[in-house]
Amino acid sequence: MQPVDFTTLTSACSELRAYWLPSRLEQVYQRDRYTISIALRTLKQRGWLEISWHPQAARICIGDPPPRSPDTFTFSQQLVHQLGGLALIAIEAIAPWERAIDLQFARRPGESALYHLYVEIMGKYSNVILTDANNSIITAAHQVSEQQSSVRPIQTGQLYEFPPKLTGPVPSLSEPQARWQERVSLVPGAIKRQIIKSYSGLSASLVDSMLLAASIAPETTTDQLNSDDWQKLFERWQEWLQALDVGKFQPAWTATGYTVMGWGAVAPVKDTQTLLNKYYTDQLNQQVFAQLRHQLSQKLNNILAKLQIKAQAFKERLQQSDQADDYRQKADLLMANLQNWEPGMKEITIPDFETGEPVAIALQPDKNGVQNAQNFYKQHQKLKRARLAVEPLLLEVQSEIDYLEQVEAAIAQIENYETAEDLQALEEIRDELIGQKYLEDPQYRDRSTNDTAITNFHRYRTPNGLEILIGRNNRQNDQLTFRVAGDYDLWFHAQEIPGSHLLMRLEPGTVPDTDDLQFAANLAAYYSRARQSDQVPVVYTQPKYVYKPKGAKPGIAIYKQERILWGKPQLVNSQ
C-alpha cells in the first residue's frame, strides 16, 4: 500500500486550508481503532474530515460520512468534549519537511488557539494527539509509555514533544544542478536509492514517478546516466519543488497507485481529498474483504464437513433399520415351524412362505425356538423405532446442509473486491451467520430492527431493456423476493441448486419475449452453484407463487406453478 508522503500531505493540507478554514467542529465519530471522522461546517458546506493513524494507511482528507451505528470509543468522546463547537482556524506544519501537522482550534477565527490536534503521518509510528494551549497532552490515540519509548513517550499530562528532527539534507529550490548532481552521484549506485539516501522528505513512490517522468529506469546506476538524463531528471526535481513552493498539484491515478504530481497519470482526479479517500478506502476494504471471505469460507467448510459426517451416520442407521422386516420375517418363519426346532441348534433352515426357497436362520443355542423368535421380534421393533427417531434428525441435518450450501454459493459469487458493495454483501453474510448462531461476535448488533432498504443488488438489462435485479446473499434474496417483487414481475432461480434469487421487473401489460427470458435464465444459472456447467435447469414463476416455509432460515423459499428454461451460464460474459 502506498503511504502518504510529505508531498501528498502538503497537497492535501493545501486544499484543506483553501476550502475548510475557518470551519466549526460539530461532531467527532470514531470509525474504528485507527480512524476518526470530524464533522466540519463552513459558511458554504459541511463535510467529514477523516484522520487516520493506521500503520499502513495513515492519512488526513475529506472522506465519506460515517455509518449510523453507535460510536463506542472513548478517544472520540474526549475530542468532542474538548473541541465541540470550536472553530478550526489553522492547519500548520510543525516543522519543514515533517509529516506532522498542527490543527488549531479556537472559540472563533482571529483568536488564539485553545487546543492543538497534532496529526503525525509517520507509518507505524503515526498518532493523533490533543493538547491544550500550553502543549500539555490531554489525550492521544495511541499512548506511548516510557517502557515503549524512552526517546519520546506520549502520555496524558506530559508536555507534547515534536518528533525528532530530520538529520539529512533537505531539498532546496535554490540548489544548482551541479551541486545537486554531485550530492546524488557522490557514491555510485542505483539512481532511485541514491536520491532517497541523499535527501530527506522523499518517498519511494515519488522518486519512482519522478524517474518515470524523466524516462529513466529506477535500477539505472548513477554512472550510467548521461548529461541529458541528468538534465531531464533535474527538471523533474525542480518541477516537484516548485509544486511544493506554490501549492499547485495534479492529483491522478497511476498504473500502480496514485500521484499528486501528474507524473505517469492514467486518469486525473478532481482533488487530492477524493484521491486519498478512494485509494485508502478501497485498499483497506480489500484487506478486510480478503480476511473476511477466507474466515467465512473456512468456517462454512468446517461446519459442512461435520454436518456431512452426521448425515452419513444417520443414513447408515436408516440402512440398518431397513433390515427390520427381515427380522420380523425370520420370527414369523420360526414361529410357524417350531416343530422343526431342536435343542442346541445354531441354525435352522426353513422354506420361505412365498417362494418356498430354503432360508437359513442363525439361532442362539442357549434359547429355545420361541425365545429366538421373540428376540427377532424385539430387533424388528427396535429398528422400527430407530427409523422413526432418525428420519426427522436426518431431515433436520439435510435442511441445515442445504441452507449452508446456499450461503456457500453466495460467498463463491463474491470472488473479488471491486466496490464497497462487495464488502457490504460479505458483511451481510457474516451478520446473518452470527444471527443464526454459526459465528460468535461480541460486537455484533442485531440489525433486524434496523430494517434499512437494500439497494446494492446486481443489476442488468435484458436485450429489450427490462430491468433485472439479483440478490447477492440470503438477506438480499429475501428482500428481493418478499419485499421488492411486484405483482407483475417474474422470479427466477436455478432448480434445486443453491444460488441467487433473480427478479425481472415488469410493468402491467408487459410480456417478456423469448430473448428476455433466456437472458434472465442465463443469469440465474450464472449466479448459482452450477456456474461452471454448460446448461442449468432454471425455474421461473410469479412472485405470488413463491413462499417462505414457517421457521425457514434466510434465503430459503418454495415455489409452485413454475416453468423451466435451460440457462447457459457460459454466455453471461458475452451478453
- Domain boundaries defined on the chain: 6-140, 177-270, 315-452, 458-574
Q: pLDDT tens digits for 250-266?
A: 999 999 999 999 999 99
pLDDT at 543: 95
Q: pLDDT tens digits for 218-229?
A: 999 999 999 999
- Give kind and range of the element (H or E) at residue 173: none
Contacts by residues 380-389 (CB-CB < 8 Å, ≥ 24 positions apart)? 380/324, 380/325, 380/327, 380/328, 380/331, 383/320, 383/321, 383/323, 383/324, 383/327, 384/321, 384/324, 386/317, 386/320, 386/321, 387/318, 387/321, 387/324
Distance in angstroms (rounded) separating the CA atoms of residues 266 and 212: 13
pLDDT at 353: 83
Instruction: Give whole-number Cα distances, 428 to 125, 235, 285, in Å.
Output: 34, 52, 15
Q: Name which residue leads in pLDDT, 463 or 145.
A: 463
pLDDT at 57: 94
Distance in angstroms (rounded) separating the CA atoms of residues 335 and 374: 9
pLDDT at 447: 43
Cell readout for 361 is 436362520
Is residue 349 classed as helix, strand or coil in its secondary structure?
Answer: strand
Q: Name which residue leads in pLDDT, 111 or 320.
A: 111
Q: Which CATH number fits domain 177-270: 1.25.40, 1.10.357, 1.10.8, 2.160.20?
A: 1.10.8
CB burial of residue 200 (10 Å; 0-12, 13-18, 19+) = middle
For residue 297, count other CB atoms closer than 10 A to its CB. Answer: 13
Instruction: Give whole-number Cα distances, 478 to 353, 405, 492, 557, in Å.
Output: 57, 16, 13, 9
What percentage of residues in the chain have a pLDDT greater than 90? Answer: 71
pLDDT at 449: 37
Distance in angstroms (rounded) separating the CA atoms of residues 220 and 190: 5
pLDDT at 168: 82
Q: Look-up: residue for cell 470509525?
A: 31
Distance in angstroms (rounded) separating the CA atoms of residues 135 and 118: 10
Is residue 218 classed as helix, strand or coil in its secondary structure?
Answer: coil
- Model pTM score: 0.75
Q: pLDDT tens digits for 477-503?
A: 999 999 999 999 999 999 999 999 999
Instruction: Find the angle CA(161)-CA(162)-CA(168) to the nearest 5 degrees.
Output: 140
Find how far residue 18's CA is from the centre of its chain: 35
Q: Name which residue leads in pLDDT, 420 or 37.
A: 37
Q: pLDDT tens digits for 22-34?
A: 999 999 999 999 9
For residue 473, count other CB atoms closer than 10 A to its CB. Answer: 28
Helix spans in 120-215 (H) = 177-184, 191-198, 204-213
pLDDT at 145: 80
DSSP code, position 136: B
Helix spans in 29-87 (H) = 74-83
Q: Which region, left, alpha or beta, applies to residue 443 given φ > 0 means left and ψ of -120 to 50 means alpha?
A: alpha
By mean pLDDT, which of 162-176, 256-270, 373-387 is the weakest?
Answer: 373-387
Instruction: pLDDT band for 575, please (50, 70, 90 cuts).
Output: low
Q: Which of 98, 260, 102 is nearest to 168 (CA)?
A: 98
Cell readout for 296 is 467465512
pLDDT at 565: 95
Q: pLDDT tens digits for 430-439?
A: 999 998 889 8
The answer to whether the beta carbons of residues 546 and 491 sit under 8 Å apart is: yes
Cell readout for 213 is 517522468
Q: pLDDT tens digits for 529-561?
A: 999 999 999 999 999 999 998 888 898 899 999
Across 224-250, average pLDDT: 95
Q: Which of 481, 486, 492 is nearest to 537 (CA)?
A: 492
The answer to whether the beta carbons of residues 477 and 500 sit under 8 Å apart is: yes
- Across the chain, mean pLDDT equals 90
pLDDT at 282: 94
The answer to whether the beta carbons of residues 434 and 444 sit under 8 Å apart is: yes
pLDDT at 550: 87
Across 81-87, average pLDDT: 95
Is residue 32 classed as helix, strand or coil in its secondary structure?
Answer: strand
Instruction: pLDDT band for 314, please (50, 70, 90 cuts).
Output: confident
pLDDT at 442: 57
Which one-letter amino acid corresponds to residue 400?
E
By mean pLDDT, which of 73-77, 171-175, 443-447 is the weakest?
Answer: 443-447
Question: What's the sign of the alpha-carbon dihedral 453, 459, 463, 465?
Answer: positive
Helix spans in 322-367 (H) = 324-336
The answer to whether the beta carbons of residues 143 and 154 sit under 8 Å apart is: yes
The CATH number of the domain covering residues in 6-140: 2.30.310.10
- Give kind and range of the element (H or E) at residue 395: helix 369-413
Residue 318 has pLDDT above 80, yes or no: no
pLDDT at 391: 83
Instruction: pLDDT band for 450, please (50, 70, 90 cuts).
Output: very low
Q: Look-up: residue for cell 407463487?
A: 545
Residue 325 has pLDDT above 80, yes or no: no
Instruction: pLDDT band for 444, please (50, 70, 90 cuts).
Output: very low
